[in-house]
Structure 1
């Protein structure tokens, strides 16, 4: 087989390498072309050197090109994969820093909440530019695979306004299933059969079977509470399981910021999180992790390049959906996964226009969703609160309506649990002014926002958050890795 895959945001080096090696685990795909594009020429050259080394080491005819000219990369592409972070870590730091001044403590801030909503405002104009180029120069029946957060907002914009055949992809479901299989004592996650449905990062395991035997709430709660690690790391998640009756896919830290109950007061935050790793609820945890990862990669690049000389091990193909979807579409080998698509009746008690994450099957006829799923009422209620925020956020990003943007932030569950309307109005003004370089649709609103900030009487505070850690130096990271290697 010979076709072209374009990867936008290919400068996300580690993730691009994973997608690349996964796809090349499919024997029929050895003769395809990967076209890499990114705004960073430096990152592009690093990832191209790594991928070229993989091709050479495995004696493959695979072609790899790299260009900052996105349109050129998209020409003739059958598949387009996006893993962009618009604004980079500079804008992301403001997504965390500014809301903290108003008492809003986020662990990740890339899906909803104040940070995720502004992240969507930066992404959506760029997503629509991608879609315009895709419509004009890619293959006629091109499929757009979006990995970039905020997943639901980006996918919503690409489908409704970009008019491109789009599916959103995430790995939260797979990770949650691995946890459940472990606590239940399964030898492999393959022993677990499950239906997981909802919206991205708020997906629920509504049907669980271990080797065909149904698993109920009480058994699952007992299994998690007995686990020596998860009982400590997933306290909030276990509490939601007890109250809702079903387990959420999302990590302790992620889930905590989509709900109005657990991060509303500093003392409550420290009660529910665990500091053994950023993903369990640390203030700005993903920002710290991302910063350390970038610094580590820049410093240790020669080692990453050397590691690329090893043969591809097909047994280590990851559970990221992209390679499996492409394999199913091109070879007709059926793949079952969980995909982000427009609802259109798939989940009976969520809005039709929402982007849902739910089970589907892929073959040469496309992605076919399992329809007629009904969520437990509490799960649906929680999802609908986020969907309403996502809808307003998408419409604000399209229209450049700063008042609608403020209303979207006001209706966010965690923001509403912490902040007053006056605080929200000022916070959004501050974030729009700080991120104006990445928000062209709000250029007309920036001068007035800046003027309001100069005369505002709303008080803020400089606050690091309830559980903030400093970014570790390369030396500290090296020492930690050496200690872990020695211990294990």
Structure 2
């Protein structure tokens, strides 16, 4: 088979390499062309060097091109994959730093909450530019696979306003299933059958069966509480499991941001999180991790390039959905996964216009979702709160209405638990002014926001957060990796 795959934001080097090698695990895809595009010529050349090394070592006919000209990369593409982070780590730092001044402590800040909403404002205009190019120069009927966060907002905009065939992809469900299989003593995840449904980063394992035997709440709670690691790292998730009756896919730190109960006071934050790794709730944890990863890659690039000279091993193909979807669409080998699409009756007790994440099957006829699923009422209520925020955020990003943006932030569950309306209004002004270069739709609103900030009397504080860690140096990272190798 010969067709073209364009990857936008291909400078996300590690993730692009994973997608690339996954796709080449499919024997029929040896002749595929990969067109890489990114704003950073430097990052593009790094990832192209790595992928060229993979192709050369494995003696493949695969073609890899790289260009900062996005339309050239998209021209004739059958599939377009987006991994973009508009504003990069510079804008992301403000997503964490500015809300902290108003008492809002985020672990990740890329889905909802103050950081995730502003992230969506930066991404959505660019997503619509992608869609315009796809419709104009890609292969007719091209499919857009969005990996970029905020997943629901980006996918919502691409489907509703971009009018492109779009599916949102994430790996939270797979990671949650791995945990459940482990605590239940399964030999592999294949022994676990499950229905997981909800919205991205708030999906719920509403039906669990281990080798055909149904697993109930009490058995699952006992299994997690008996686990020597997860009992400490997933305290918040276990508490939600006890109260809601079902397990959430999302990590301890991520889940804590979407609920109004666990991160609203510093003493509550430290009670529920675990500092053994960023993902369990550390303040600004993903920002620190992303910064360290970028610095490490820049320093250790020769090592990454050398390690690319290895055989592609289908046994090590990851559980990221993209390669499996492409394989199913092109070869008719049926694939079952969890996909982000417009609801339209798939989940009966969530709004029809929402972007939901739920089970589906893929074959040559496309992605076919299992319809008629009902969430437990508490899960639906939590999801609906986030959907209302997502809807307002998308509409604000499309219209450039700063007042609607402020209302979206005000209605965020965690923001509402921490901040007053006056604080939210000032915080949004501050974030829009700080990120104005990535927010063209708010250009007319920036002068008035600056004027309001010059006269504001709302008090803020300089606060690192309840559980902040400093970015580690390359030397510290190297020493830690050496120690881990010696321990093994």
Give your verdict on TM over 0.5.
Answer: yes
After superposition, give the CA deviation of every residue in 1:268-304 in whole Å (9 maximum; x if it has no partner): 0000000000000000000000000000000000000
- For 2:3 and 2:383, how far apart are their aligned partners in 1? 38
- For 1:314 and 1:386, how far apart are their aligned partners in 2? 38
After superposition, give the CA deviation of every residue in 1:18-41 in whole Å (9 maximum; x if it has no partner): 000000000000001000000000
**Offset of residue 397 of structure 1:** 0.0
TM-score normalized with structure 2 length:
1.00
Question: Which secondary structure does the structure 1 equivalent of 2:372 belong to?
Answer: coil
- For 1:286 and 1:418, how far apart are their aligned partners in 2? 21
Question: Which secondary structure does the structure 2 equivalent of 1:257 belong to?
Answer: helix
After superposition, give the CA deviation of every residue in 1:39-87 in whole Å (9 maximum; x if it has no partner): 0000000000000000000000000000000000000000000000000
- For 1:203 and 1:382, how far apart are their aligned partners in 2? 10
**Offset of residue 158 of structure 1:** 0.1
Q: Does 1:416 align with 2:416?
A: yes
- For 1:189 and 1:466, how far apart are their aligned partners in 2? 36
**Offset of residue 138 of structure 1:** 0.3
- For 1:162 and 1:463, how far apart are their aligned partners in 2? 39
**Offset of residue 186 of structure 1:** 0.3
Q: Mark the runs of 5 or more structure 2 residues left unpaired by the alignment.
A: none
Trace 1:87-102 onto structure 2 (pairs within 5 A): 87-102=87-102
- For 2:252 and 2:310, how far apart are their aligned partners in 1? 35
- For 2:351 and 2:466, how far apart are their aligned partners in 1? 35
- For 1:52 and 1:484, how far apart are their aligned partners in 2? 31
Which residue number corresponds to residue 15 of structure 1? Answer: 15
Question: Which secondary structure does the structure 1 equivalent of 2:145 belong to?
Answer: strand
- For 2:212 and 2:472, how far apart are their aligned partners in 1? 46
Q: Does 1:206 align with 2:223?
A: no
- For 2:73 and 2:487, how far apart are their aligned partners in 1? 45
- For 2:486 and 2:152, how far apart are their aligned partners in 1? 42
**Offset of residue 172 of structure 1:** 0.0
Question: Which secondary structure does the structure 2 equivalent of 1:359 belong to?
Answer: strand
- For 1:379 and 1:320, how far apart are their aligned partners in 2? 25
After superposition, give the CA deviation of every residue in 1:314-373 in whole Å (9 maximum; x if it has no partner): 100000000000000000000000000000000000000000000000000000000000
**Offset of residue 200 of structure 1:** 0.1
**Offset of residue 166 of structure 1:** 0.1
- For 1:116 and 1:363, how far apart are their aligned partners in 2? 33
**Offset of residue 386 of structure 1:** 0.0
After superposition, give the CA deviation of every residue in 1:110-164 in whole Å (9 maximum; x if it has no partner): 0000000000000000000000000000011100000000000000000000000
After superposition, give the CA deviation of every residue in 1:98-121 in whole Å (9 maximum; x if it has no partner): 000000000000000000000000
Trace 1:78-477 onto structure 2 (pairs within 5 A): 78-477=78-477
Question: Which secondary structure does the structure 2 equivalent of 1:39 belong to?
Answer: coil
**Offset of residue 423 of structure 1:** 0.1
Question: Which secondary structure does the structure 1 equivalent of 2:443 belong to?
Answer: helix
- For 1:404 and 1:127, how far apart are their aligned partners in 2? 20
After superposition, give the CA deviation of every residue in 1:398-451 in whole Å (9 maximum; x if it has no partner): 000000000000000000000000000000000000000000000000000000
- For 2:371 and 2:157, how far apart are their aligned partners in 1? 23
- For 2:134 and 2:462, how far apart are their aligned partners in 1? 43
- For 2:381 and 2:316, how far apart are their aligned partners in 1? 38
- For 2:232 and 2:314, how far apart are their aligned partners in 1? 34
- For 1:454 and 1:166, how far apart are their aligned partners in 2? 42
**Offset of residue 456 of structure 1:** 0.2
- For 2:408 and 2:388, how far apart are their aligned partners in 1? 8
- For 2:214 and 2:102, how far apart are their aligned partners in 1? 45
- For 2:310 and 2:7, how far apart are their aligned partners in 1? 23
Aligned residues: 488
- For 1:48 and 1:327, how far apart are their aligned partners in 2? 23
- For 2:109 and 2:83, how far apart are their aligned partners in 1? 17
Q: Mark the runs of 5 or more structure 1 residues left unpaired by the alignment.
A: none
